[in-house]
Amino acid sequence: MNAKNIINIREARKNEIDIVGGKGANLGIMISSEIPVPDGFIVTAHAYKNFLQNNGITEIIHEKIKNINEDHNRIKSETEHIRNLILKSQFSKEMKEDIENRYNAFKKPVHLAVRSSATAEDLPDASFAGQQETYLNVMKIEDVFLSIKKCFASLWSIRSFSYRENNGYNHFDVAIAVVIQEMIESEISGILFTANPVSGEKQTIIDASYNLGEAIVSGRVTPDNYILDENGNEISFTLGSKDISIIYSDEGTKTIKNSNYMKERRCLNAEDLKKLFCEASKVENLYKKPMDIEWAIKDKKVYILQARPITTIDTIKKEIKSSRTYSKKEKEYLNNMIEHFPVVCYPLDFNIAMILQNMKYELFEEAGLKIKSPIRMDDMGIIHMDKINWKISGKILRFLKIYGEYKDNENNISCGEKILKTCEDNLKILEKEIMYKNKNFTFSEIRDYFNKLVEIHKKISYARFRYFLFPSVMIGEKLDKKLKKINSNYSEYDLLSELEYVTVNMNKEIDTILKLLSKNDNCMKDLLVESNDYMLLKKKYSTEFEPIDRFLKQYGWKSNYCCIPFSSISWCEDPNRFLNLLRVTMTSKLKDKANESNKYKNILKTLEKHTGKKELNKKSPFTKNSNSIKCRKK
């Protein structure tokens, strides 16, 4: 058995996990297979044991473990004491000199990754990965020593201790090595899966952004996404926002904003994708299983930083075998969810959106139809759709009464507007309280404010469905049937374009802005150049941009895809997103508004003839002075 305290990564071997840990062994295997891995060295598990022994910690740990029971506070206290002992202890003179010599061999300035590598990590029957510590951008030798000791100490965190205890692992059968590796000052970096981690399908999925991969791993940037088929051919691409980059600095790292040119172009070209596919295939062939890989590109060379098996594939395959087909109604529901959540959402986004989505089920239940929400989010943040199940309750006897209430349009408008007015007043009170506090909030206050907002959200959701959406749908379906009898080409949506509600008014404003901008040819030309920034254009064309500023003050809370998720970036937060919308509208063919207006007038005139003017004004929410459709869209 290799008894060295420190070895070069190239010396690590597959059968030495008990010496170099899972990460160390993986890196050694890849290097020996000529896979490009950054250079470095490993402080072995033998060094960890010697460190404990030389500082008299081994005996103390034995005593403490012997006396620990299942009491959480006792475990917390004793493991904290062990960690503090490790952090306060010193390396032997020989070990300290060896680490210093290897540190000095790196080209300066140096940025190092110091990673824990547990000796049971990545074994088939264990899940130790992620329980120990990783420290990035370590520059000074004293910080290298401290980071190594922190990695040693992480083996005695509450989480690691409890995992070993609950799964029957002997605490002294598991040791820890530490990998010290040069960090690549990458131009592009990211994450790669050699199989689809969601479906298990044989695809190569690549997330990529500029500079250091820390921005992607920490979730601070939305990367470009590439999907390659089993032969490495690109079959899908999604442009990410790539708003920021993390780069090296004298203090370690710093965050910078990417230019519009960087944000709006692809990170990877065809040659980059070919190289990544080639190296990823080597890694997968080496391990004989689908892999999750962290990578970096510098000077057109690909480096593999980490590789681990994709642990979800077997579970996914079982789920696929037991998967079911969706009904037409379920597919419509799924499409609606995809429209509102086209990007990955956070649990907070999901929970708030479900208040809105589930309100209709509460209203159905009032009328005797009990439906359980089919949408759920699992622990990995993946949204699933279960089979829609429903049953009838005794409340069904109230159905006709409730149906009649839904048809009372004037009462619905009155009741709905009262609730919305109350909610609006409550929001103003809340805003005043928040402004008065001037950002000095305790966590308790933040929780209380958030709970108040949720309660207001519930009331607005109730008013939206009970008094506006459901009644409007009922009236709309009745109106649609009337229109079809008159002319099969007519529908209720032909009447929407001339009404007064947010979406239509917003679209009209956009048309007005484009007409004003079109009077200045130079402005139009500059606007079509995607790399031109909003603030620069505003400074150059201040007069032309005045209506855009007014528009953003009124509608800037909206987003390109959906404003429901909290994580959606609004037009106010990033006006360049609104400019992109203008560019798309400018390059597409504008609709003939005069023809639309004439169609609207002709339909109303025809309806008057068939229904009578008095009856039409009484029952239809589609006349221009109607509040129903206006409130329906609030």
What percentage of the chain carries pLDDT values higher than 90? 38
Pick from 296, 301, 206, 283: nearest CA to 35: 283
Q: Does 22 have pLDDT greater than 90?
A: no
Q: Does 476 have pLDDT greater than 80?
A: no
Out of 10-14, 505-509, 564-568, pick the least confident: 564-568
Q: Which residues pair with 206 in a beta bridge?
A: 192, 226
CATH says 188-316 is which class? alpha beta
CA dihedral 630, 405, 465, 615 (to 10 degrees): -30
> Which stretch, 141-150, 212-221, 335-344, 614-623, has highest mean pLDDT?
141-150
Mean pLDDT over 526-546 rounds to 87
Mean pLDDT over 522-530 rounds to 86
Distances (CA, A) of 138 to 75, 88, 145, 294: 31, 19, 10, 19
Three-class SS state of 490: coil
Confidence bin at 630 (pLDDT 50/70/90): very low
**What global pTM score does this model have?**
0.52
DSSP state of 106: S
Three-class SS state of 429: helix
Distances (CA, A) of 246 to 71, 119, 272, 275: 42, 32, 21, 23
Q: Mind listing the pLDDT tens digit for each residue in 317-371? A: 555 555 557 777 777 777 777 666 666 677 888 888 888 888 888 898 888 888 8
Pick from 101, 113, 93: nearest CA to 51: 93
Q: Does 589 have pLDDT greater than 50?
A: no
Three-class SS state of 291: strand
**Based on C-alpha coordinates, what's the Rg of the chain?**
31
pLDDT of residue 627: 39
d(CA 465, CA 64) in angstroms, rounded, equals: 61
Distances (CA, A) of 524 to 165, 366, 451, 530: 68, 54, 46, 12
Pick from 217, 160, 136, 176: nearest CA to 22: 176
Q: Mind listing the pLDDT tens digit for each residue in 196-249? A: 887 788 999 999 999 999 889 878 899 999 999 999 999 999 999 999 999 988
Domain over 6-182 is classified CATH 3.40.50.300: no
Out of 377-391, 444-458, 597-611, pick the least confident: 597-611
Three-class SS state of 236: strand
Confidence bin at 127 (pLDDT 50/70/90): very low
Mean pLDDT over 559-579 rounds to 77
Per the model's pLDDT, the better-predicted residue between 165 and 268 turns out to be: 268
Percentages (nearest 5) of helix, strand, coil residues in the chain: 55, 15, 30
Q: Does 400 have pLDDT greater than 80?
A: yes
DSSP string, 308-319: EE-TTHHHHHHH
pLDDT of residue 439: 66
Q: Does 469 have pLDDT greater than 70?
A: yes
Pick from 582, 539, 560: nearest CA to 241: 560
pLDDT of residue 189: 96
Asked whether the bond before 197 is cis by omega within 30 degrees of 0, the reply is no
Those residues with Cβ within 8 angstroms of residue 195's Cβ, 6 or more apart along the chain or in another chain:
201, 202, 203, 290, 310, 313
What's the half-sphere exposure (Cβ side, CA atoms, 13 Å) at 410?
3
d(CA 465, CA 460) in angstroms, rounded, equals: 9
Residue found by looking up tokens 């209203």 in the block: 363
The token pair that represents 623 in the structure block? 């006349």
d(CA 334, CA 312) in angstroms, rounded, equals: 23
Q: Does 125 have pLDDT greater than 50?
A: no
- Residue type at position 9: I
Distances (CA, A) of 62 to 52, 53, 83, 154, 170: 12, 12, 14, 17, 11
Mean pLDDT over 249-258 rounds to 87
Q: Does 618 have pLDDT greater than 60?
A: no
As annotated, the residues of the chain forming the CATH 3.30.1490.20 domain(s) are 6-182
Q: Does 501 have pLDDT greater than 70?
A: no
Those residues with Cβ within 8 angstroms of residue 155's Cβ, 6 or more apart along the chain or in another chain:
116, 118, 132, 174, 175, 176
The token pair that represents 31 in the structure block? 């290097």
Element (H, E) at 31: helix 17-32
Distances (CA, A) of 39 to 7, 11, 70, 156, 281: 12, 11, 43, 28, 21
pLDDT of residue 177: 94
Q: Mind listing the pLDDT tens digit for each residue in 182-200? A: 999 999 999 999 998 877 8
The token pair that represents 121 in the structure block? 């990590």
Three-class SS state of 343: coil
Mean pLDDT over 297-311 rounds to 90
| b/e sequence 531-563, b meaning 16+ C-beta within 10 Å | ebebeebbeebeebbebbeebbeebeebbbebe
State CA 522 to chain mean position distance: 38
d(CA 9, CA 254) in angstroms, rounded, equals: 29
Distances (CA, A) of 50 to 5, 95, 132, 423: 8, 10, 19, 66
Element (H, E) at 594: helix 593-611
Those residues with Cβ within 8 angstroms of residue 136's Cβ, 6 or more apart along the chain or in another chain:
111, 113, 114, 183, 214, 253
Mean pLDDT over 454-458 rounds to 91
Q: Does 251 have pLDDT greater than 90?
A: no
d(CA 467, CA 480) in angstroms, rounded, equals: 20
pLDDT of residue 418: 94
Average predicted confidence (pLDDT) for the chain:
82
The token pair that represents 207 in the structure block? 């997330």
Burial classification of residue 218, based on how many CB atoms lie within 10 Å of its CB (0-12 exposed, 13-18 middle, 19 or more buried):
exposed
- C-alpha dihedral sign at 265, 270, 273, 279: negative
Q: Does 315 have pLDDT greater than 60?
A: no
The token pair that represents 564 in the structure block? 């429901």
* Beta strands 369-371 and 112-118, pairing class: unpaired
Mean pLDDT over 497-522 rounds to 81
- C-alpha dihedral sign at 25, 26, 31, 32: positive
As annotated, the residues of the chain forming the CATH 3.30.470.20 domain(s) are 188-316
Mean pLDDT over 436-459 rounds to 82
DSSP string, 148-209: HHHHHHHTTSHHHHHHHHHTT--TTT--EEEEEEEPP--SEEEEEESS-TTT--S-EEEEEE
